[in-house]
Structure 1
Amino acid sequence: MTQTETSSLAPDAEGLARAAEILRGGGLVAFPTETVYGLGADACNDRAVAAIYEAKGRPSFNPLIAHFPSAEAAQAYVQWSDAADMVAAAFWPGPLTLVLPLRAGCGISRLVTAGLETLAVRVPAAPLARDLLERVGGPVAAPSANRSGQISPTRPEHVLAGLSGRIDAVVNAGRCDVGLESTILGLAGRPTLMRPGGIPREALEKALGRRVAERREAEAIAAPGQMASHYAPRAGMRLNAAEWQPGETRLGFGKVDCDLNLSRAGDLTEAAANLFEYLHRLDAEGAEVIAVSPVPHVGLGVAINDRLSRAAAPRD
């Protein structure tokens, strides 16, 4: 692809105005949400969306999330429902993506939906992100701002390490608060957890007043983040390591002797916020094999283990 100079924009009115101008003009801008940095493009512009796939090296069958400044803005592009109302009222703005039937004639690029008849929509909690989306005045497709399959970025320097020269600009606003992508809830049929994330399944079930099904791995990809190998560092990985082996770099959880600890206090929220940054750090330090302590498979631990299992999956 053609190399371009990637601008670093300040997180102020002038920087956001310039970022919105670039997006409306068909360019690519990385911007922070409360979860990770997203790589934004006009979701109604086929060429702009195609540029996301090119910059990331992303498989074309993996759908993208469309970001909006409000639930009302999102409703113009999807067929809304009572269930969507319930969870949006509880968790939007926030780290929750809803997959709903696409509204006919809404103008969303088919590259965003990867040819599906559904659209993944989200209203981010970060005020800066919503400010930018308001300035753009239309949906912004924004997967994580990293090369496809690599570790998701929680800082602007992570974005630049993978995408400098491949995108037009990054809004430099420091570290993201959550550090783990959004939960994806499918609402095109029975409520289905399509990707665990910052909002646990139990909280969704409480808001809906009913059980949320889980997607089976054998099912076709129907939402972002469902590739088997994803979030992968260059190093090999060994999960659920109760003991360390010679030559391994040790990524711990809880009160263990290790090289880097996701949360010595055993706090899953802290571990989620640190996960991608620590994988980046160990990768940059030249780790050959990263051994990871067991992480409890409850609450946010489900999402953490999902990311770790994808990071450790066989690579093509």
Structure 2
Amino acid sequence: MTGMSNVVPTLPAADLPVDLRRIELLCARLRPEEGVELDHIVWKLAKLPRAEGWDNVLWPVGALDGRELVLRVARREVSHALLGREVTVLRRLRGLGTQLPMQLPTVLAVAEDAVLVEWIEGDSADASEGAARVAVAHDLARMLATIHSGPAPEVGLNPVRGVPLLTRADAFLTDLDRAGLPPELRARAAARWRTGIAAETWQGRALLLHGDPHPGNVVLPPVGVRGAATLIDWGDTTRGDPASDLGGMLLHQPSGALLRTYRETAAWTGIDDEEVWSALEARAWAWATRMALALVLTYPVGTGLGAAGHRLLNS
């Protein structure tokens, strides 16, 4: 499972075309992670990719100990930095030795603009039934709380995640106009945004953020298979205000209960301060509204991510 939506909108043009020849070259240049023996891989390069998203292509290349492997390859120049951030953070999180509430992608090797990973079997949360989606949303709340509470490596800052809400005001107003919501929903979205803007800005240390924990980036194990869900696609990871991560979390299940689960697990300085928490809640709902508008403008309502956007705006 890739974490990419079942119905993908028109993708931005690829300035790094991905074809079989490029896959062959990248496989030859892979540098294994510590403890990984590339000689044990049974190489079998597919003729076509398995999935393609905004920034990367997933191309099957073989198997290791019976586990299918895919090469995650940058299809745009801007994806170089995203892949680098992802590898940096995944290495750091695995190196901490902390028991996490969710699984992480397994990076086996890297090349200049590619990462060799294990294929994650299952369905993304946006394609899951209500009960399963709600259950994994609380796992995600605990996962984000754990990540936010730990050390933050020096990853590059993201201009649209973890930043003050005011920097996204023009984008919000543009999308609100474009969305063409019924008057009641438009008023509710605008009110949530105003409340978030009016809340005190983040004054704490810059926390480590996933960056984009929407329902398409959480993969549940196949039905009947035990195990934790996996939080994937760490390319937008950054440092800053945790409200943007909580906004993405609320797209799974727009409820105060989910925020309370997060608060019960988080241990960063200030989490117990009621004023800090109230301001964070307000900013989180504003971020969720901002993200929901982006989803309904990008994905049809019949898709998982489109439905997630509408569910938040109707809550």
Q: TM-score, normalised to structure 1's length?
A: 0.27
From the two aligned structures, give the one with the greater helix fraction: 2
